[in-house]
Amino acid sequence: MNDKEQFETVGEGLLVRAPAKINLSLLVAGQRADGFHELETIMAKVNWYDEILIEPGQKAGIELVCKGPHWAPDGKENLVYRAGELLLNSCRRRDDVKITLTKNIPAGSGLGSASSDAAATLMGLNEYLDIQLPKKQLAKPASQLGSDVAFFLNGPLAFCTGKGEKIKKLEENFNFLAFLVLPDVSVSTKKVYANYEHNQPLYEKLSSQIKGYIKKNRIDLVVKMCANMLERSCFSLVKSIAELKAKIESLGIRPCCLSGSGSTMFCLIESGDEEIARQYKHRLEEKIGCKSIIASNNRW
């Protein structure tokens, strides 16, 4: 799977690619007064994309069409529609546009695809309609759409805090090959957080260690920790994912880490050897029958 450019002109339209992300680490610092959880997470974009095509509209306002191998709502509940509406309203624009979302990345998979779609829509409309807002100004509507949206405006590798919306770009050129395991199950982020039981001593221990590695530009050592404090909550809610992880690791595919609140799990192949990744894929399909893809870090 090769990197592609984020923007591509297609006829009269603009194609915008929206990459998935994985959480190389995810710590919960505790619950905030507003009910949300305070997070510390390292997120990395991978070169697996949803696609958003923006074209001249044939109907008044925003027309959203959804297609592709995975379902997505085609109404106002879709973050793509909400992102477009929010941007146009904030700029007092009344443009007629058709937006076609090709959904390649499953929802509820811990890969942030809906947030990435929203960010791609903001950037795409800004470009296509020549609105000329700097990225800093796009951050405001991004914050209204979801905690992860701001990350997708930037990247490709960042340390994110707050609800995930406070972004500190990591300058290290961290190249990796990732083997992504895609269970056929959607996990509710809301339910995972509601089920979460905080462990303050564990958070303090992991946070100190990870921040030390970040200072040394050793993201590779962070990955080896396989630190995701939402894993226990996810596994207790969806026991089939916990069972799948045990089976995967019994095949020698390890460490197998959960991304976000699940359901995707990943194994980073330190050597970057694609042949190893292909062996993992064959082993998984033959022994377990679970879908997987091979991806690498995204350049932008």
- The pLDDT value recorded for residue 280 is 97
- The pLDDT value recorded for residue 19 is 98
Please name the residues in contact with 133: beta carbons below 8 A apart, sequence gap of 6 or more.
91, 126
Domains 7-169 and 177-296 share a fold: no
- The pLDDT value recorded for residue 260 is 97
d(CA 210, CA 226): 11
- The pLDDT value recorded for residue 171 is 86
Please name the residues in contact with 186: beta carbons below 8 A apart, sequence gap of 6 or more.
106, 107, 108, 109, 263
Tokens coding 58: 């044939």
Query: Among the options 21, 103, 245, 281, which is catalytic?
Result: 21
Protein fold of 7-169: Ribosomal Protein S5; domain 2 (3.30.230)
How big is the CA angle at 238 (ends 234 and 242), to the nearest 5 degrees? Answer: 75
CB 193 within 8 A of CB 233: yes
- The pLDDT value recorded for residue 173 is 85
Indicate the helix (H) or strand (E) that contains 80: helix 79-90
Tokens coding 35: 């009910």
177-296 belongs to which CATH class?
alpha beta
- The pLDDT value recorded for residue 74 is 87
- The pLDDT value recorded for residue 1 is 61
Which phi and psi angles does 22 have, rounded to 5°?
-125, 150
What residues does each domain of the chain span? 7-169, 177-296
- The pLDDT value recorded for residue 3 is 76
- The pLDDT value recorded for residue 41 is 98
21 is catalytic: yes
Query: Among the options 45, 103, 117, 148, which is catalytic?
Result: 148
> Residue-wise pLDDT tens for the chain (300 aa)?
667 999 999 999 999 999 999 999 999 999 999 999 999 999 999 999 999 999 999 999 999 999 999 999 988 999 999 999 999 999 999 999 999 999 999 999 999 999 999 999 999 999 999 999 999 999 999 999 999 999 999 989 999 999 999 999 998 889 999 999 999 999 999 999 999 999 999 999 999 999 999 999 999 999 999 999 999 999 999 999 999 999 999 999 999 999 999 999 999 998 899 999 999 999 999 999 999 999 999 999
